Amino acid sequence: MSIRPLIAGNWKMNGLKGESSEVIRELLAKVSTVANPGCDILICPPALVVNELAALCEGTSISIGGQDCHPNVSGAHTGDISAEMLKDAGASYCIVGHSERRTDHGESNETVKAKAEAAIRAGLIAIVCVGETLEEREGGKTLNVISEQVKNSLPEGATAENTVIAYEPVWAIGTGKTPTPQDVAEVHAHMRAELSALMTDANGVRLLYGGSVKGSNAPELMGLENVDGGLVGGASLTAEDFWPIIETGI
């Protein structure tokens, strides 16, 4: 099955309205020079600018997504945002279970699963993040950790259309370090095998790699078997840095 890659940018807590719009305008100018992009392109900005950026991107090849959502539709959850609100603001994807959420907010696999189910309920595509810590890698536990996270974070009713899995080794995020291509390929093959036991269309699920992806390493990482795109943090913050990564999918 041929899989359409997804190149996604996670802006985390970066960008005010003006500069965010400017980056999107620059990316749109570059994308407009490509007749039929061969990949899906996504930016997940801070929630406050989803509405504005989604309006800028309407009818273009760039989609906008959220970085997190609450499992519930609405209610007494001060400071939280529901998947329905993201959808209403124009988002079409939502990242869930990023390691910064798992660490900073103590999110368990069960919480991540509930959030992914909320994203799907709202009509968003859930990007479920998994990844081992350095200690787990050095202890030879990587594949076990990934199995546990995939199995227990995967939303009920997951399909290749509504769910994307992002492998992001925690020790590679924002550090400039990446696993070897062999290590990435091993984990991705393992995730594909795990998913095959859990869903019927596992061969069509997009498996992203994330962790210190940049223009210089993207061609090799994005070219690996079972790597169907990337989730990019720091290098997605400017059009100049992000475009060469997008080009690996175009």
- Enzyme catalytic residues: 98, 168
Of the listed pieces 35-43, 151-159, 200-208, 226-234, which binds ligand PEP according to CB under 6 A?
A: 226-234
| DSSP type of residue 70 | B
| DSSP type of residue 39 | S
Pick from 44, 59, 61, 57: nearest CA to 4: 61
The only residue of 69, 173, 207, 218 in contact with ligand PEP, by rule CB under 6 A: 173
CB of 42 vs ligand PEP, minimal distance in Å:
12
Q: Is the dihedral of CA 147, 246, 31, 241 positive or negative?
A: positive
The only residue of 86, 222, 231, 245 in contact with ligand PEP, by rule CB under 6 A: 231
Among all chains, which residue has been given the structure tokens 């992000």? 242
CB of 24 vs ligand PEP, minimal distance in Å:
19
| DSSP type of residue 75 | S
CB of 65 vs ligand PEP, minimal distance in Å:
12
Residue length, the chain?
A: 250
The only residue of 7, 10, 154, 162 in contact with ligand PEP, by rule CB under 6 A: 10
Please give the helix or strand (H or E) that residue 125 lies within, else none.
strand 125-130
Q: Is the dihedral of CA 218, 232, 151, 39 positive or negative?
A: negative
Binding of ligand PEP by 229 (CB under 6 A): no
The only residue of 234, 242, 245, 246 in contact with ligand PEP, by rule CB under 6 A: 234
Where does this chain bind ligand PEP (CB under 6 A)? 10, 168, 173-174, 210-213, 231-235
